[in-house]
A and B are shown apart, each in its own frame.
Chain A
């Protein structure tokens, strides 16, 4: 089983320019583990100090927000296209 992960251009300086990655992660947890391993420079950008995936990172599977598919509980299907898209806030705190 293979899924394809698209890396947004803002992050490609931490992936040696790679714009996508094929892998066989079964779920979100495994996907981030794969990314941590493949692109160690990317890790501090994807995860906060406590190791949690950052609040403003949205994950889409075949154009659908993964939270509508079950989030952490979603099992990737063969051929899934995964998008990492930072959420665009204008946030005054």
Chain B
């Protein structure tokens, strides 16, 4: 294993390895830093490709305790070429990173939770917790059940029913809060201050967030150890986009891929767009918003990593866009109908923003572009309510079906000659 420890991003103070996310000196976020010189010898293409197809193949650049033995094959989701969607968007080389099928709970949050719980165990916590817009709730609840932790999950009261049941089924304690995610998150900071619990996105956050890098490692490996020209990433708290960039930077630094300026594009829903608003205004600071969007998994009005997401985007030469709720739903349907991938609202945001970015010619059709699909549509079926009428049932008779088909095709049915 490679040595790692927490370091303050702003003042540089090191903290060893403890459950802590904020530098006491200057209040800035702590970040996991690695001994990259030691990593160079062991983090190689040959070693990685010889390992099972899951995110643990990148273990040297994850903060994992020395005795940690993963019990779930998390990650290594498909990177699919998307020619039919590409045609619709006016693109040529378009790929989908499909975390709608990530194990065990069908979102990219499985990656971060797996790393967080590895550390919760080594820090001696018997209870884990989180504030969540839904996907994180599902993942903490499921993985806590498997790993034998008690789980306390805090959510805004208005979450989608599937995400609520998909948390409770694992036996987690679910606390519904009358308020926005930002209020839930603030409350969790206060609770984490008082109780000896492993809050995956509070006191374990530096470790947790590193799990997102595996999205970036996998994309590069699946492109044949090359980086894409562009990547479109949905933004809620803004952490994922910064961690994909960290992953690409680490691969360049350790010589696994050739250096390349990847342009990072952030995607938000217009009803909760503090990061895209700042990028468009050329501002480095976030003005918090009160979310009003059906893309509830992205409804964070005061994004913790917003400042860093803006930096990642602007330094890369990228951009940020946002789309209306109607465009989110249209885009969910478009992705399903063109590529057979059913994504949740966040995926609709990503596809909808990608369409705008091609229209604005901010992304060139000839370049290789990856869209990050981070969650599964089965969790947010409520947004499609009314889109598909329930058909009248027909009797189980071939004559009835022939009649039905005739009507459906609006033309007489011709029977082929035997």
Contacts and interface: CB of A to CB of B under 8 A. Distances in A.
Given A56-B28, A65-B288, A67-B287, A93 B183 contact: no
A89 interface: yes
Contact of A65 (B205, B302, B304, B308): B302
Given A54-B27, A56-B29, A88 B304 contact: yes
A93 B8 CA distance: 11
B9 A87 contact: no
B209 interface: yes
Contacts of A56: 22, 27-29
Interface string B154-192: 000000000000000000000000010011011001100
Interface in A57-92: 57-58, 60, 63, 65, 67-68, 83, 85-92
B154 to A, nearest CB: 13
Contacts of B194: 9
A10 B18 CA distance: 14
Interface string A1-42: 000000011110100000000000000000000000000000
Contacts of B193: 8-10
Contacts, number: 109
B308 A91 contact: yes
A13 B193 CA distance: 14
Contacts of A91: 9, 28-29, 31, 239, 242, 304-305, 307-308
A69 to B, nearest CB: 11
Nearest to A48: B26
Interface residues of A, number: 29
A88 B186 CA distance: 9
Nearest to B212: A90
A86 B24 CA distance: 10
A28 to B, nearest CB: 15
The CB with the most chain A CB atoms within 10 A, among B21, B243, B311, is that of B21
Contact of A90 (B26, B189, B239): B239
A47 B209 CA distance: 27
A54 B288 contact: no
Contacts of A68: 288, 290
Given A45-B26, A85-B189, A90 B182 contact: no
B376 interface: no
Given A67-B288, A92-B243, A45 B182 contact: no
Contacts of B182: 65
B271 interface: no
A54 B25 CA distance: 11
B43 interface: no
Contacts of B185: 88
A89 B290 CA distance: 19
B27 A45 contact: yes
Contacts of A44: 25
A93 B9 contact: yes
Nearest to A6: B190
Given A45-B25, A55-B307, A67-B288, A90 B302 contact: no
A88 B27 contact: no
A71 B273 CA distance: 20
Interface string B194-232: 100000011001101100000000000000000000000
A90 B186 contact: no
Contact of A60 (B26, B186, B308): B186
23 contacts: A8-B190, A10-B24, A11-B24, A54-B28, A56-B27, A56-B29, A57-B27, A58-B302, A63-B183, A86-B27, A88-B21, A88-B29, A88-B189, A88-B201, A88-B202, A90-B29, A91-B305, A91-B307, A91-B308, A92-B209, A92-B245, A92-B308, A93-B311
Interface of B: 9, 21-22, 24-29, 31, 179, 182-183, 185-186, 189-190, 193-194, 201-202, 205-206, 208-209, 237, 239, 242-243, 245-246, 285, 287-288, 290, 302, 304-305, 307-308, 311-312
CB-CB nearest 4 A-B residue pairs: A90-B209, A89-B29, A92-B246, A89-B304
